[in-house]
Amino acid sequence: SQQGEEDPQALSIQEGENATMNCSYKTSINNLQWYRQNSGRGLVHLILIRSNEREKHSGRLRVTLDTSKKSSSLLITASRAADTASYFCATRAAVNKLTFGGGTRVLVKP
């Protein structure tokens, strides 16, 4: 079973626009991570937010975490064609257990 569920499953935007995707999870977590996967490649870690943090920034990425709602959002500002990829949230609820959601496919049109 998937701990995290991303929404929407797919997103299409114009270059320069912001992209927002959400992740909901079911159990208490230690941290939540976001990964990017380009077509045919492995996943790449983007950002980690701990359970006691509410917001985190990294370059054009902004992640929020609401533990009361068991949800997180990833915002990509000023999107570029190179941001076209699938984005996955992953939750760490226990040692050695990083559970991934089904992902959001993002298409950035030039």
Partner 1 sequence: DAGITQSPRHKVTETGTPVTLRCHQTENHRYMYWYRQDPGHGLRLIHYSYGVKDTDKGEVSDGYSVSRSKTEDFLLTLESATSSQTSVYFCAISADRDVGELFFGEGSRLTVL
Which residue in the set 13, 48, 61, 75 belongs to the binding site for partner 1 (CB under 8 A)? 48
Strands 71-76, 43-50: pairing is unpaired
Distance CA 30, CA 7 (A): 21
Helix, strand, coil content of the chain in percent (nearest 5): 5, 60, 40
Which residue in the set 22, 24, 30, 77 belongs to the binding site for partner 1 (CB under 8 A)? 30
91 is a site residue for partner 1 (CB under 8 A)? no
Of the pair 3, 84, the CB lying nearest partner 1 is at 3
Q: Count the site residues for partner 1 by CB under 8 A.
A: 25
24 is a site residue for partner 1 (CB under 8 A)? no
> CA–CA distance from 41 to each of 21, 33, 35, 37, 61 (Å)?
21, 18, 12, 6, 21
Site of interaction with partner 1 (CB under 8 A): 1-2, 30-31, 33, 35, 40-45, 48, 88, 90, 92, 95-103
